[in-house]
């Protein structure tokens, strides 16, 4: 979708935008279902990158201590518990700049993925930058989706991160797609961006070929010690508008109402589901930050007459359209 089309939608009267997003949602996602994903930080803190929103960067005094890679048996225990609790996707995050084929830690991660994959849930990882070889090995080990957010517009990215570029993010996403994994890519609201930045981000995401399989929309959780610690909260209507635009621009994607739900009332979350969100992180903790309690989420879904989504492991990564350029496009 073009920037101008997105902007036309974003600026509609609120209820008109919701009406249009809802129509797209009902066509593509007729079941009242929400995907439940469990997140686990398998390697926390001490990251070399300077993402100014992140508590795990070693550059900021956020109070998050650098830890080592979690032992495989502990990760498997958490994955089994997630499956028991009804999660259909298990997403493992590591605070690394990236991974390198042949390194000890990457071999360890591959071993972990193989065993988690055998549990039958969708397996997602988010480990930072990947080359073609690393992507192929992760796919081979059983990763079904790779999370790598573009986070904001190409124009604003350099104000938020200086240790890697927007193009680096796109390159990794290309490698993920080439290896046949689904792409999970979205962003954060509340980084001091303009509405146009949000729409540029959605423009870039919607022009991926194939489009992302899931799109996390995070609301900044200001982390003490980070440069964005004192940021003003994003208005809930702006969150809902962005979700509605994501639903319209990328109709087949799961749009995940991600970080920041602890600061959204149940009514605000319901508004976001109505606008097109159909996935959440489920469980008391995100990576380092809090998330609503699982029972509270199940109660909310029940109140809304929505059901947890069935596993979708066999759903192939979206296919590329042959006549469009393959590389993720920035313009
Ligand atoms: N290191 C990997 C990377 O950068 O892709 C994976 C982990 S990173 C923490 C994953 C995503 O979490 C970021 O791209 C960002 O969208 C989100 N995130 C991190 N800190 C956040 C915060 N304080 N508030 C909201 N979202 C946040
Ligand atoms: C995503 O878009 N959000 C998740 C996941 N992908 C890896 C991470 C949210 C992190 C929130 C802050 C924290 O827990 O430190
Ligand atoms: Fe590191 Fe990822 Fe945090 Fe950036 S967002 S500092 S790459 S863990």
Helix (H) or strand (E) holding 216: strand 214-219
Nearest CA to ligand 2 atom 2: 216
Q: Identify the pLDDT of residue 109.
A: 97
Question: What is the count of structural domains for the chain?
Answer: 1
Residue 320 has a pLDDT of 66
Element (H, E) at 183: strand 182-184
Counting as low any pLDDT under 70, the low residues of the chain are 311-331
Residues 6+ apart with CB under 8 A from 81: none
pLDDT, residue 85, reads 85
DSSP letters for 219-264? EP-PPTTSTTTTPPPPPHHHHHHHHHHHHHHSTTSEEEE-TTGGGS
Cα-to-centroid distance, 4 and ligand 3 (Å) = 31
Distance, CA of 149 to CA of 206 (rounded, Å): 13
Task: Let me know if residue 329 belongs to a domain.
Answer: no
Q: Print the domain residue range for 233.
A: 3-308
Residue 182 lies in a domain: yes
Spatial CB neighbours of 224, under 8 Å, sequence gap ≥ 6: 55, 62, 63
Distance separating alpha carbons of residues 226 and 54, to the nearest angstrom: 7
Ligand 2 surroundings by CB, under 6 angstroms: 39, 55, 93, 126, 147, 149, 186, 216, 218, 221, 258-259, 286-289
Handedness of CA 328, 126, 3, 318 (dihedral sign): positive
**Pick from 147, 139, 87: which is nearest to 113 by CA?**
139
Within-domain flag for 319: no
Q: What is the CATH number of the domain that holds 163?
A: 3.20.20.70
Please indicate, yes or no, if residue 111 is contained in any of the structural domains: yes
Q: Which ligand is nearest to the CA of 228?
A: 1
- Cis bond upstream, residue 297 (ω within 30): no
231 occurs within a structural domain: yes
Query: What's the pTM?
Result: 0.94
Q: Which ligand is nearest to the CA of 286?
A: 2
Our mutation pick for probing the ligand 1 site, out of 50, 51, 54, counting the most ligand atoms within 8 A of Cβ, is 54
What pLDDT score does 316 carry? 46
Tell me how far the alpha carbon of residue 202 is from its chain's centroid. Answer: 13
Query: Is residue 248 in some structural domain?
Result: yes
| Ligand 2 mean position, distance from CA 16 (Å) | 31
Determine whether the shortest distance from the Cβ of 160 to ligand 3 is under 6 A: no
């Amino acid at each position: 979708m073009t920037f101008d089309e997105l902007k036309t939608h974003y600026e509609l009267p609120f209820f008109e935008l919701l009406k249009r997003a809802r129509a797209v949602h009902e066509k593509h996602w007729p079941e009242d279902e929400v995907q439940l994903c469990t997140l686990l930080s398998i390697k926390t803190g001490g990251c070399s990158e300077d993402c100014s929103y992140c508590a795990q960067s070693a550059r900021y005094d956020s109070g998050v201590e650098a830890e080592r890679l979690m032992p495989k048996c502990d990760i498997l225990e958490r994955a089994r518990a997630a499956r028991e609790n009804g999660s259909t996707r298990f997403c493992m995050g590591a605070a690394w700049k990236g991974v390198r084929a042949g390194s000890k830690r990457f071999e360890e991660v591959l071993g972990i993925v193989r065993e988690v994959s055998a549990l039958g849930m969708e397996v997602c990882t988010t480990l930072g930058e990947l080359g073609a070889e690393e992507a192929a090995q992760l796919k081979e080990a059983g990763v079904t989706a790779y999370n790598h957010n573009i986070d904001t517009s190409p124009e604003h990215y350099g104000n938020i991160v200086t240790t890697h570029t927007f193009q680096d993010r796109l390159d990794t996403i290309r490698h993920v797609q080439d290896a046949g994994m689904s792409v999970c890519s979205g962003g954060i609201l509340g980084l001091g961006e303009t509405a146009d930045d949000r729409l540029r981000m959605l423009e870039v995401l919607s022009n991926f070929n194939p489009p992302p399989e899931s799109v996390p929309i995070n609301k900044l959780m200001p982390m003490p010690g980070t440069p964005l610690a004192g940021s003003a909260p994003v208005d809930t209507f702006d969150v809902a508008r962005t979700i509605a635009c994501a639903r319209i621009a990328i109709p087949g994607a799961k749009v995940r109402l991600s970080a920041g739900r602890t600061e959204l009332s149940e009514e605000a979350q319901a508004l976001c589901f109505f606008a097109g969100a159909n996935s959440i992180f489920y469980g008391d903790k995100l990576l380092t930050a809090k998330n609503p309690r699982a029972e509270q989420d199940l109660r909310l879904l029940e109140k809304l007459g929505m059901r947890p989504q069935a596993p979708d492991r066999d759903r192939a990564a979206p296919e590329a359209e042959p006549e469009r350029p393959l590389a993720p496009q920035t313009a």
